[in-house]
Structure 1
Amino acid sequence: MRILVTNDDGIHSPGLWALEEIAKAISDDVWVVAPETDQSGSSHSLTVNDPLRLRSVSERHFAVRGTPTDCVIMGLRQILDAPPDLVLSGINRGHNLADDLTYSGTVAGAMEGTILGVRSIAVSQAFSHARGVEPPYETAVAHGPELIRDLLAIDLPKDVLININFPAVAAEEVAGVKVTVQGRRDQAMLKIDERFDGRGNPYYWIAFQRQPFEPVTGTDLQAVRDGFVSVTPLRLDLTAHRVLEDMERALGSAE
């Protein structure tokens, strides 16, 4: 089995090394193609106005001056002489749950792999974000190989990718695995942090304020909060099928 590993935190991210360790527990044919710099929050963006620079870091390790989407395309169309059997994207520094999925470069890497016809999985590791605390990647490394092997045995539709989130607990404290749906976050948590530079000019950070929030049962948010590994199947098709008939009637286009 040939595995292509990418991420959005950059070629030097500890999470990328951890995911490569998981990949090597599954296969001895592992290739890494990751962004030259941190691309967190880049979503499914594609570089079209600038050239892509490719750098060989070491054997089977390449850095692309571009997004995770660019990396997957370069891996499949330029670097590899044959398509991979699996694309693994991550391990992201922090969870990718609920609305985060729409911003996530990690999930986008798996999306692009799926679009190009390769089974793809996004992997993220939750952590507390307290100052000085690093994600417990060892949790994902301990549980990742077996979980991914089990997922590979499932016959998935061609337009489905998988989003895995490991909880912010030690490996031995993981409560289990739950198959979940994508949750919705309380958007009151999103805020603008206004600051001023040395000349008195304002500048802004998009930030999140922590506040009590009760996630819906069965969601990725609840599973990770409760110490479970969350596994969510996602579709590339964004069509709101439940709205189609109402919209056709309203616009007079129903047959």
Structure 2
Amino acid sequence: MRILLTNDDGINAEGLKVLERIARTLSDDVWVVAPAEENSGAGHSLTLTRPVRLFKHDERHWSVSGTPTDAVTMALRKVLPAPPDLILSGVNRGANLGDDVTYSGTVSAAFEGALAGIRSIALSQVYAREGMGDTVPFAVAEAWGERVLRPLLGVPFAERTLVNVNFPAIEPDAVQGIRVVKQGFHDYARGSVVEGTDPRGYRYYWFGLHGIEHTPGHATDLEAIADGFVAVTPLQLDLTHTGSLLALGERYAR
């Protein structure tokens, strides 16, 4: 089984090293193609206004001067000798829960794999407090990664779907198990914009993650993580709200 690894935290990220160790419990045919630098919040963006450069670190480790989507595209078209059987994206430093998935480069890399018809899974490690930087612990992801992934290898994925996995911010032996749940939602209206002044006296703004209200609903990924479970959520690329098709169609039929 050939496995492609990517992420949005960059080629040197600790979470990517963790993911490679997890992947090697599943196969010895593992390839890494990731952004050269951090691309958190890049979403499903594609680099169109400047050239993308490809850097070879060794035969199976490459980086690109672009986004996670660019990394998957370059892997499939320029690096791998044949398409992979599985794409794993992560392990992200931080949660990708609820509607975070629309901003996430980690999840979007898996979206790109799903668009190519390849089984794709995004993995993220929740952490307990802000400002942890490179000290975010990946112990839960490392301990539970293989246990989450092996059952998914034998399950058929519907066309243009992927799986989003989040590991809770607790000790590995405190994890309650694995729960398959739907996507929850955050209240981003309560998010913050941090204002400051740079050394030259110019004002700047930084989007803050604190202050966002988490509103877990019954059986969502937010609730699963809060309860100490690994959250496994199937996602789809079709964003059509089918319930509105008839009503909108009637508006134009008059």
- Using the size of structure 1 for normalisation, the TM-score is 0.95
Aligned to 1:228: 229
| Compared CA separation, residues 76 and 191, structure 1 to 2 (3 A) | same
Q: Within 5 A, what are the aligned runs for 1:211-226? A: 213-226=214-227
Q: CA deviation at 1:184?
A: 0.8
On the 8 A contact 2:47/2:66 being kept in 1, the answer is yes
Aligned to 1:117: 117
Q: Alpha-carbon deviations, 1:80-104, whole Å to 9, x = none?
A: 1110000000000001011211100
Aligned to 2:77: 77
Q: CA deviation at 1:189?
A: 3.1
Moved more, 207-216 or 124-133: 207-216
Alignment of 1:63 with 2:63, yes or no, is yes
Aligned to 2:48: 48
Letter in 2 for 1:13: A
- CA distance, structure 2, for counterparts of residue 212 and residue 62 of structure 1: 38
On the 8 A contact 1:6/1:34 being kept in 2, the answer is yes
Q: Within 5 A, what are the aligned runs for 1:151-162? A: 151-162=152-163
Alignment of 1:101 with 2:101, yes or no, is yes
- CA distance, structure 2, for counterparts of residue 164 and residue 213 of structure 1: 18
Unaligned runs of 5+ in 1: none
On the 8 A contact 1:139/1:166 being kept in 2, the answer is yes
Q: CA deviation at 1:211?
A: 6.7
Identity of aligned residues (%): 49
- Using the size of structure 2 for normalisation, the TM-score is 0.95
Q: CA deviation at 1:7?
A: 0.1
| Compared CA separation, residues 97 and 132, structure 1 to 2 (3 A) | closer
SS at match of 1:25: coil
Q: Alpha-carbon deviations, 1:121-164, whole Å to 9, x = none?
A: 00000001344473321211111112111011111212110000
Aligned to 1:166: 167
| Compared CA separation, residues 88 and 195, structure 1 to 2 (3 A) | same
- CA distance, structure 1, for counterparts of residue 20 and residue 151 of structure 2: 18
- CA distance, structure 2, for counterparts of residue 204 and residue 99 of structure 1: 23
On the 8 A contact 1:55/1:64 being kept in 2, the answer is yes
| Number of residue pairs matched by the alignment | 253
| Compared CA separation, residues 13 and 180, structure 1 to 2 (3 A) | same
